[in-house]
Amino acid sequence: MKRFFSYLRNHYSQLMKITLFVTSVVILVLIFPKEAKFKYEFSKGKPWMHEDLIAPFDFAILKSDAEVEAEKAEALKDLKPYFRLDENLTLKQREDLIAYFNSKWKTKYVDNERSDQKKAANLHAALSVFDTVMQTGVIEAHPAIEGKPDDYTINLIRYNVLKPTPLNKIFTIQRADQYISKKLPDYGNVDEPLLLNVLEQMLTQNVKYDATTTEKEQESLVSKISPSRGLVQTGERIISRGELVSGEKYQILESLRQDYEGRLGSSFKSVGIVAGQIILLAVSMASLFLFLMFFRKEVFAETKQIVLLLLLIQTMVFVTTLVVKFSPEYVFIIPVCLIPIIISVFNDSRLALFSHLITITITGFLVPNSYEYVFLQLFAGIVTILSTVKLEHRSQFFLTSLVIFITYSLIYTGMVLIKEGSLQDLNYTNYLLFGGSAFLTLFSYPLIFIFEKSFGMITNVTLLELSNTNNKLLRELALKAPGTFQHSMQMANLAEEAIYEIGGNPLLVRTGAMYHDIGKIDDPIYFVENQSTGVNPHDELTYEESAEIIVDHVLRGVERAKKYKLPEQIIDFIRTHHGTRKAEYFYKMAQKDNPEEDVDSSTYTYPGPAPFSKETAVLMMADTVEAASRSLKKPDEETIDKLVESVIDNQISSRQFDNADLTLRDIKKIKSIFKKKLMNIYHLRIEYPK
């Protein structure tokens, strides 16, 4: 048991990563639908590549979507829309008319010059005309009758009685106004202007479109349409090897596929389906695991990067499952290319491509026409990765989105041409879906920002923003400690050139160099590069006090960086640029002036840690070399050569690079680059052999 726990302790990291991948397989299996899949892959316009297919059972030949839609259109062609006369509205308007008439009559005949008999005659005339018009009905304007001729018949429901009625037998608002104007003079001695005003105000459209009844009738007619148009019997040959999958054959094969999967889904034990999914998903995840372990060791070493990678794949599979389950026709709107964009930004194009392959391979099991889907997404992903190889500006996201849309559209058009030989069957809705998918990839920018903050990672876009010398913190450094700022710029050039040569992230090391000495902002005068007046405040301090100020600039730099919310990757450069060395000048002077005392070295020692990456190690070298080169009285090839060699060898001897992934060959290259750059800085010519 002790040996077992010892093994767990020693291999905790590897076991943790294996657990992550196993958990990922379990999650994907839970996401996957528990349905069997048709074992043959086929595509319209291509030869049947499998053995001769014999019908395993009787099945109906399903009609194509186009056939079903044509039959629906034919069935609904003669369907007349339903309208209903609103009796309650008619009664309400009649009551309102009486009240409105009384109000108008009282206003106009305030002195009661007219008798009640005259008033009653006018009201009778108004109600008679109103009742005639409203009982006949005033139809509302509706798209169902727009542009129809006067003799077009609708189904009119009046007092729950259905009667087919031509449009010319029902009033419109215009015809009702004409009828009123023509009818009022027939009533003899009435106040026509008053009655015309009252009737026009109270007239309303009381024949309304009855959507519920119309839709029920449509559903009834559509339900009578048979989804099939024939039968294939058991043992009948469906298609032979090499035979072209024509439109008719494709429909028969598609009918067999749906019937086959339906039968398997209901009769097969789900255990077998789950077992197959476990095997396929385990192989997929194992491939990704091995790729990271052998070819992307730096990613494999970072658990958070593995979590991000698996999370992206699982999310895309989950979204695809939902879309396929509820609306498979919208599968092309899924922004699959988000994965290669995000991964290429955080890592590199090879990992992005491999992850994209794993994702579309897994989702290919879910979608219809999986070969076409995988082909389409594969090349869209490749183009996406190529367009984001050097992602340095936000505008590139828009260019990538446009490229994705063009790629989708071209490949889809080509597939239609291969199948049909013409563009007549193009589904223009797919182009809208491609546009939607391309638009959704623009969300990669905010997602990248979220992942940066959530997983503590950093991208080149962020590094470019941070390395801008107009950044608030760098402007403060330039104003308060101009000498330190110039030193940072100079060493940034040295470190960037060196890291580019040995392999690393040049932009990261440049940004780290810009910020490595921000701790000097508080007391810039105590650092020699900022002393321009000839006054050195260290002359008034003890060696211990001076060393404390010098050493503390590292801790103050870390505090300031956290205050300004700089990424941890940049703060690492501040922590490590002096490693665990000492403030040598003050330490040596303290020993010299106090030979009989045991000088406490901890006061003079930087807190560290030592560099632990290529970038932080190169920065330490560049920092010390650049600072030391300023003390050269006669910089020439020999003195620069000795300076670089002694400085870096001293750092090696003090074991500052034990944790950094550097080889002796890397260090040799770094020395060579530093020498050349310093000679260029001091305008020295290379000494040629005699």
User: What are φ and ψ of residue 305, in 5° steps?
Assistant: -70, -35
Residue located via tokens 């395993």: 56
Per-residue pLDDT tens digits for 630-650: 888 788 888 888 999 999 999
pLDDT recorded at residue 611: 93
> pLDDT tier at 382 (50, 70, 90 boundaries)?
very high
In the structure, what pLDDT confidence band is assigned to residue 38 with cuts at 50, 70 and 90?
Answer: confident
pLDDT at position 267 is: 46
Instruction: Report whether pLDDT(229) > 90.
Output: no
Lowest mean pLDDT among 9-13, 526-530, 625-629: 9-13
Nearest to 54, CA basis, from 229, 232, 231: 232
d(CA 602, CA 400): 54
Q: What is the mean pLDDT of residues 561-580?
A: 93
Which whole number is the average pLDDT over 60-84? Answer: 87
| Count of beta carbons in the 10 Å neighbourhood of residue 166 | 13
512-519 average pLDDT score: 94
Are residues 342 and 448 in contact, defined by beta-carbon separation less than 8 angstroms? Answer: yes
**Overall average pLDDT of the 279-289 stretch:** 93
**pLDDT for position 689:** 55
Is the pLDDT confidence value at 283 over 70?
yes
Q: Tell me 79's DSSP state.
A: P
Question: Which pLDDT score is estimated for 648?
Answer: 93
Regarding beta strands 153-158 and 53-54, do their DSSP bridges make them parallel or antiparallel, or are they unpaired? unpaired
Residue 629 has pLDDT above 80, yes or no: yes
Whole-angstrom distance, CA of residue 265 vs CA of residue 36: 6
The set of long-range contacts for 194-201, using a CB threshold of 8 Å and a minimum separation of 24, is 194/104, 194/105, 194/108, 194/122, 195/122, 195/125, 195/126, 195/129, 197/104, 198/97, 198/100, 198/101, 198/104, 198/126, 199/97, 199/126, 199/129, 199/130, 201/100
What does the mean pLDDT of the chain come to? 87
What sign results for the dihedral spanned by CA atoms 85, 90, 91, 92?
A: positive
Of 357, 352, 346, 336, give the one whose Cα is nearest residue 404.
Answer: 336
Of 538, 541, 516, the C-alpha closest to 526 is: 538
Residue 687 has pLDDT above 60, yes or no: no
Question: Exposed/middle/buried for 609, CB within 10 Å: 0-12, 13-18, 19+?
Answer: middle
The answer, yes or no, to whether residue 116 has pLDDT greater than 80, is no
Q: How far is CA 20 from CA 257, 276, 297, 340, 409, in A?
A: 36, 21, 16, 21, 37
What's the pLDDT score for residue 187? 84
DSSP helix/strand/coil, 566 = coil
Sorting pLDDT into bands at 50, 70 and 90, what band is 7?
low
Q: Is the pLDDT of residue 657 over 50?
A: yes
pLDDT in the model for residue 392: 64
Say if residues 440 and 338 touch (Cβ distance below 8 Å): yes
Element (H, E) at 239: strand 237-239
For the residues 509-517, what does the mean pLDDT come to? 94
For 161, the enclosing helix (H) or strand (E) is: strand 161-166
